[in-house]
Amino acid sequence: MKTLINSALILATLVSVTVGQGKVDVDRLREKIASQLQSKLSGWRYKPVEAFGPTSSVLVQVWSSENKTVKIAVATRQSVEDAKKEIRSFLQFRRDPEELTGFGDEAFAPERDGPDIVFRRGRHVIYINTRVEADNDSLDTQNLSTPEREAQRKAEVQRIGKEFAKQLSSIEFQ
């Protein structure tokens, strides 16, 4: 009985240390990303999003500038293989994902002409979702047709998403 109680106490201690360590790792990574992006992307404001729970290994940040918003989610997995499986699962029901180069170990735009980018750095899977609100009052867009404005908005979404992916892929996550 005493051995069982001691084993339970040791197991409880290990679990709490592991959970605490995971929280520290997520907090450290959150600060590293915020610092890097603030120094490289002037004019963008940062807002952390609360974790999904005390043991969450996913961090979320929202960046905004004028009529643009970028949501970043970084999922830390147990192994590189787990991260690869997550990307494959994410892409499974996407039609014709575009493979991207220059962003981490592997990168994809899940939908052609879409705002999303997903890439992997080691055991970290990074999701980037970019939104740009149409600016119908701008001098640059006043004389454009609706399809031309939409094409310009999509090009801006892709440009911003790739810029964030470039900056994030240069961060050492370990």
pLDDT mean over 8-29? 50
pLDDT digits (tens, 9 = 90+) for 129-166: 998 886 655 556 677 888 888 888 888 888 999 999 99
CA distances, 87 to each of 30, 77, 79, 127 (Å): 21, 11, 13, 10
pLDDT at 40: 92
Q: Give pLDDT tens digits for 21-61.
A: 445 577 888 899 999 999 999 899 998 887 766 667 889 99
CA-wise closest residue to 82 among 50, 57, 52, 101: 57
Query: So what's the pLDDT on residue 144?
Result: 80
Q: What is the pTM of this model?
A: 0.79
Cα–Cα distance, 73 to 62 (Å, whole number): 9
Instruction: Parse the chain into domains and list their residue ranges.
Output: 2-169
